[in-house]
């Protein structure tokens, strides 16, 4: 990702033409120089000659540009103030294509390659002479020169259009998809991913040359300044995406602060180049490249710590970011001239980041899957905790608190049945507390079996139980007595219960207290009358 904006897609059309250079001393004539190739330097590396004004002369071409087969010269778009082209024909005629104040903007094709048509003539084109003013010479003065036919140029543009259109559609789809996910899930890494992809889309739009088509009045240097700006903002967003994508434990302590600081510096470097390039492009480019080294310096410790902490996302991050990291290293080596300029390396940023965007989207889907599992597990745990808080641990029925929360406010008349096991103290004395607990569990099972759908069944405390149901759906209390008599108890002990009932509304706590007093009084009457029977209290009216 670091380095100069994409130079040109010069490798996709025509055949190469070698170029020699000569520094302009201000007193040279194009008509004379174009016929004196011996004065030009063909051996020195161009970037070693430094910034300034230059002449660049092609090798002998010897091809005709005709109306039926027009020729063009294609070359890389680099930082320069202006460029003019002189064309020498076999008959001695020289045709000049003058410089434009916008630089190469009028000649930019897709892929940010400059293309100048060579006027058709009967005579062959012998040599080409460029006059380059204000060359920054960051990577070279004139790079990637190629002679191509009109058909080859059209084919190159179509290929570039297909590649960038596919990438643009993919980027838009990923942004829309992840924004929609963010609206539902609200994870920060989704927003940073969208910012990274949007920055990449903007970078592709400007570095591809499409910006020059949409905005014909923009100076070519300004277009390249935008390349730096978008690349810096994208790099900062990419690092923040990694910062928020990993588990928080990976970035605890100093590493998290360093990652955030480098992300800010990368974005600031893009802004710095955009603002300072017109007056100090060399210094700005050096700062930009140096700060991008920090990206690699953060990624390596991140991978190391993620491996040590057994992060769930390490393998996805390593796969997704492998190509961009390798590209960044190679581009940095090219920026400091340890690697020569290469068409595929120069255009690797968009392609590698496109792959990263796709793989990171899969990584996001994988993380959301894990987060969903964590959420579901948490919800199940919460539900289990809630059930534990609401249920009686011995019988599994509602406890008194949960029963009251669910009971008060039920609409319509309700029937409350209070059941109390008879002589339960003697049961504990006979069977022990473990046996008594088993009797309680069996009775709770009987109540669950006879209770109608929608009824609330609870253990109110000790050996007292309650059933609350709609009045017209209530189970007959005699059925409860009969079912309990028929149920086998531990050691075949005969267990009975007394039941008191009361009907009425239960819309408020006052209603509940009145209903409970009525059922409890009826229960007392059943106990007093000999147990193992039912007594009904008079129906209650709303308080």
Q: Which residues are catalytic?
A: 463
- State CA 297 to chain mean position distance: 22
Question: Helical H runs in 30-125?
Answer: 30-33
CA distances from 528 to 477, 480, 499, 500, 510 (A): 17, 19, 12, 12, 27
DSSP labels, 473-530:
GPPPHHHHHHHHHHS--GGG----EEEEEEEEEESSHHHHHHHHHHHHHHHHHHHHTT
82-89 and 125-135 strand pairing: antiparallel
Residue 49, by phi and psi: left (phi above 0), alpha (psi -120 to 50) or beta?
A: alpha
Q: How far is it, in rounded angstroms, from Cα 28 to Cα 26?
A: 6
Q: How many helices (H) and strands (E) does the chain have?
A: 13, 15
DSSP labels, 350-408:
HHHHHHHHHHHHHHHHHHHHHHHHHHHHHHHHHHHHHHHHHB-TTT-SB-HHHHHHHHT
- Give the Cβ contact number of residue 253 at 10 Å: 9
Which among 361, 460, 477 has a CA at the least distance from the CA of 415? 477
- H or E segment and range at residue 58: strand 52-58
- Give the Cβ contact number of residue 522 at 10 Å: 24
* Contacting residues for 398 by C-beta, under 8 A, at least 6 apart: 390, 391, 392, 406, 456, 457, 458, 459
Instruction: Please tell me whether residue 68 adopts helix, strand or coil conformation.
Output: coil
């Amino acid at each position: 990702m670091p380095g100069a904006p994409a130079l040109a897609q010069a490798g996709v059309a025509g055949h190469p033409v070698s170029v020699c250079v000569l520094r302009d001393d201000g007193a040279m004539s194009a008509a004379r120089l174009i016929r004196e190739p011996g004065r030009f330097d063909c051996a020195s590396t161009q970037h070693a000659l430094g910034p300034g004004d230059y002449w660049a002369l092609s090798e002998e071409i010897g091809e005709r540009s005709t109306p039926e087969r027009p020729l063009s010269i294609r070359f890389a778009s680099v930082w320069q103030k202006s460029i003019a082209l002189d064309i020498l024909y076999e008959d001695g005629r020289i045709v000049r294509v003058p410089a434009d104040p916008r630089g190469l903007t009028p000649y930019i094709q897709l892929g940010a390659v400059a293309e100048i048509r060579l006027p058709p003539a009967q005579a062959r084109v012998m040599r080409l002479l460029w006059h380059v003013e204000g060359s920054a010479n960051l990577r070279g003065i004139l790079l990637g020169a190629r002679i191509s036919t009109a058909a080859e140029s059209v084919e190159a543009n179509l290929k570039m259009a297909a590649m960038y259109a596919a990438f643009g559609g993919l980027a838009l789809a990923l942004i829309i998809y992840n924004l929609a996910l963010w609206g539902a899930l609200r994870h920060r890494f989704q927003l940073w991913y969208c910012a990274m992809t949007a920055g990449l889309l903007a970078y592709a739009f400007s570095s591809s040359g499409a910006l020059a088509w949409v905005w014909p009045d923009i100076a070519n240097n300004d277009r390249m300044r935008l390349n730096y700006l978008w690349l810096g903002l994208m790099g900062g967003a990419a690092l923040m995406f990694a910062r928020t994508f990993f588990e928080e434990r990976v970035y605890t302590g100093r590493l998290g602060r360093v990652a955030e600081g480098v992300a800010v510096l990368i974005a600031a470097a893009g802004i710095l180049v955009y603002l300072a390039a017109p007056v100090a492009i060399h210094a700005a480019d050096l700062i930009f490249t140096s700060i991008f080294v920090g990206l690699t310096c953060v990624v390596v410790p991140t991978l190391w710590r993620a491996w040590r902490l057994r992060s769930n996302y390490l393998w996805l991050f390593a796969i997704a970011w492998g190509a961009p990291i390798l590209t960044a290293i190679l581009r940095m080596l090219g920026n400091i001239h340890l690697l020569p300029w290469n068409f595929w390396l120069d255009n690797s940023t968009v392609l590698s980041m496109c792959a990263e965007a796709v793989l990171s989207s899969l990584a996001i889907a994988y993380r959301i899957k894990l987060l969903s599992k964590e959420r579901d597990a948490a919800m199940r745990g919460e539900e289990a905790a809630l059930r534990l808080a609401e249920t009686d641990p011995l019988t599994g029925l509602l406890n008194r608190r949960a029963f009251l929360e669910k009971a008060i406010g039920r609409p319509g008349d309700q029937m409350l049945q209070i059941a109390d096991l008879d002589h339960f103290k003697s049961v504990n004395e006979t069977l022990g507390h473990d046996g008594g607990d088993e009797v309680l569990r069996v009775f709770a099972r009987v109540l669950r079996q006879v209770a109608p759908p929608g009824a609330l069944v609870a253990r109110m405390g000790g050996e007292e139980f309650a059933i609350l149901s709609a009045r017209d759906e209530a189970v007959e209390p005699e059925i409860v007595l009969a079912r309990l008599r028929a149920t086998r108890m531990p050691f075949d002990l005969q267990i009975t219960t007394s039941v008191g009932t009361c009907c009425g509304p239960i819309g408020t706590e006052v209603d509940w207290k009145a209903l409970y007093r009525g059922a409890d009084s009826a229960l007392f009457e059943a106990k007093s009358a000999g147990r193992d029977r039912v007594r009904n209290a008079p129906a209650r009216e709303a308080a």
